[in-house]
Amino acid sequence: MNDVQIRSAEKALSVGTWLIVAGAMLYSVLTVTPLMTDHTPAEWGWTAPILPLVVDAAVVIVVRLDSVLARLGGHGGRWPIALRWMTGAMTLALNVADSALQGDLVGVAVHAVAPLLLIVTAETGLAYRRAITAAVAALKEEERAEREARRQAAVDREERAERRERERRDHEAQLAREQRDHEAALARERAEHEERVRREEREREEAREARERSERERLQREREQQQRDRERREREVAERRERQGRERAERERREQTERAERAERERAALLAAGPATEKLPEDQARQVVQAAYSAELPVRAASELTGWSIGWVSSRYSELRQSPVLEGAAA
């Protein structure tokens, strides 16, 4: 059975069930309304159809939800069963109540047909739907198993094809690897030969560079030695010049000291002569004035030592003050 046939069967079951439910509801309303009218106050007579409609609405809910649960493969538990049987029992009781109260057994049987048919149809429809759902699930499972089998077969074929292709590639790869190994061996031999030649050339080049480096180092050492000798000679010359300069400076210092001491002695000798009794010669008088000026004697004292006038001595003092060279020499 395919999906079209299954949907057709479900449609027939659904249409038949709802026709029976609609007919039973209509019959129930028509049957129960007079009963409710007789047992309802006159001012509330318009409410007589409400009870059969409520009971029939419960029947519709039960039938509809049972069909949905059956399609989904679920089960509502005990309460849906209780509601289904309770609504069926209430429908049956309300439909046969009027005939039963009148003692009309034929009427009871006639009015019981629609409720019983409704109850049995609801239970049968639920069983049919569950059976159809189970059959559809089984069919889908079988189709799934077939699809899985076909998929697995395709996978197996693909795996076999891949295995054959992999074996072929492995064989080709092995041949290529052997070829590469052979070529690599030849290339390695050539490389070893070239490396050996390069190593020999490099050793010869390193030996030549070592000789050149040794020669350069020897020349460098000789130049450094010559440089050190030249620096040593220059240092000795500089030290000798410095020593000579110090000796010359020391000699000049001693000579200068001796000259200063001699000039001091001469100056002291000139000043120690005392006041002149007569006018000294100009050259000697100038020496005495210079000595007096160096000793910072007053002009009058210098005039007394030379026998010259104070004006002449003042002029010589002025000349000495204006002549730093003479003043330094006198010092």
Q: Which two tokens stand for residue 62?
A: 């039960």
CA gap 331, 324 in Å, rounded: 10
Q: What is the pTM of this model?
A: 0.33
- Kindly give the interhelix angle for 78-102 and 50-72, rounded to the nearest 10 degrees: 150
CB count within 10 Å of CB 62 equals: 22
User: Do residues 277 and 307 lie in contact, with contact meaning Cβ atoms separated by under 8 Å?
Assistant: yes
C-alpha torsion 121→127→130→131, nearest 10: -120
The pLDDT mean for the chain works out to 76
Q: Which two tokens stand for residue 83?
A: 């509601």
pLDDT tens, per residue, the chain with 331 residues: 566 666 676 677 667 667 777 776 767 776 766 666 666 666 665 665 666 666 766 666 676 666 666 666 666 567 766 766 777 777 777 777 777 777 777 767 776 776 776 677 766 766 666 667 666 677 777 888 888 888 888 888 888 898 899 899 898 988 888 998 989 989 999 999 999 999 999 999 999 999 999 998 989 999 899 998 988 888 888 888 888 888 888 888 888 887 767 666 666 666 666 666 677 777 877 887 888 787 777 887 777 777 777 888 788 888 888 875 444 444 4
Give the residue carrying structure tokens 């002695």: 265
CA gap 126, 64 in Å, rounded: 10
Proportion of the chain in helix, strand, coil states, percent, rounded to 5: 90, 0, 10
pLDDT tens, residue by residue, 5-31: 666 766 776 676 677 777 767 677 767
Of 282, 321, 280, the residue nearest 304 (C-alpha):
280
pLDDT at 328: 47
Q: Transcribe 173-203 into DSSP letters.
A: HHHHHHHHHHHHHHHHHHHHHHHHHHHHHHH
CA gap 262, 245 in Å, rounded: 25
Backbone torsions φ then ψ of 225, nearest 5 degrees: -65, -45
